[in-house]
Amino acid sequence: MLLHIPQLFSAEEIQRIRVALEQANWLDGKITAGYQSAKAKLNLQLAEDDPLAREISEVLLQRLWQNPQFMSAALPHKVFPPLFNCYTGGGVFGYHVDNAVRQVRNSLERVRTDLSATVFFCDPDEYDGGELVIQDTYGTPSIKFAAGDMVLYPSTSLHKVEPVTRGARLASFFWIQSLVREDSRRTLLYELDNSIQTLTQDIPDHPALVELTRTYHNLLRQWVEV
C-alpha cells in the first residue's frame, strides 16, 4: 500500500524549517548508505546527531503519533529517528532497496524496516526533477507531493529519486517497524478501520459496528508482533 498523508506541517512551520535547513551543515549522503546504495547515491544529508536534525525529528515524531491516518495505516511499533536530506545540482539516488534492519546511532536499538516514509519540505514547483519513483505491485508511481505532506510505502519496494536539475529538494526520510509485518495484512486492517470510522460517522448506532470492531481487533490480535 502506498499512502499520501497531507499537511503534517503548516505553511508557517514549513517556512521556519526551510530557513533552518538552508543554513544547516550538510554532509555527503553516503554516510548512511549501504554498500550497493552508496554506488547509486549522490545527495547531501544532516548528521544523525546534528542538533537541528534532532529538534525537527522530535516535532515530526509527535505529529506522527497524533495523526490518525498514520497510526491506522502504519500500526507503528518503532520509528527510526527521522533523517534529513537535500538534493540539488544534479543530486540523484538510483534504484535501491532499503536495508531490512537499521541500527539507531549510539544505541542498541534496532528497527526492522517494514515501511519507508518521506516528508517533503519543498513544493513541487520549487525544483525540477526529484520525483520519488517506487516500483511495487501497484505499479510505478512518481511522487512529488506538496511541502508538509508525507508518502508512506512498503520498504520492500525498489525506489529511486530522480536527478534534481533546478532548485533544491529538502526532505525527511525514515522507517517504521509495524506491529503487523506483512503489507497485505496492514492494508486489510487499514481498509477495515476506514470502513468502521465511516460507518461510525454516518450511522453511529448501526448494530454491525460492534461486530466489525470485534473482527478488526481479532485480526489484529492474530497478526500483531510485539
Which tens digits make up the pLDDT trace of 115-167? 999 999 999 999 999 999 999 877 899 999 999 999 999 999 999 999 999 99
Which parts are annotated binding residues for 2-oxoglutarate?
A: 169
Q: Are residues 108 and 189 in the same domain?
A: no
- Give the mean model confidence (pLDDT) for residues 74-85: 97
Overall number of domains in the chain: 2
- What is the extent of the structural domain holding 217? 183-223
Q: What is the DSSP string of the chain?
A: --EEE--SS-HHHHHHHHHHHHTS--EEGGGG--HHHHHHEE-EE--TT-HHHHHHHHHHHHHHHT-HHHHHHH-EEEEPPPEEEEEETT-EEEEE---SEEEPTTSS-EEE-SEEEEEE-S-GGGSEE--EEEEBTTB--EE-PPTT-EEEEETTSEEEE--EEESEEEEEEEEEEESS--HHHHHHHHHHHHHHHHHHHH-TT-THHHHHHHHHHHHHHHH---
Indicate if 201 and 106 belong to the same structural domain: no
CATH number at residue 189: 4.10.860
Q: How far apart are CA 37 and CA 47, in angstroms?
A: 17
Residue 35's pLDDT band (boundaries 50, 70, 90)? Answer: low
Give yes or no: residues 39 and 82 share one domain: yes
User: Which residues define the annotated binding site?
Assistant: 96, 98, 159, 169
pTM: 0.93
Residues forming the annotated binding site for Fe cation?
96, 98, 159
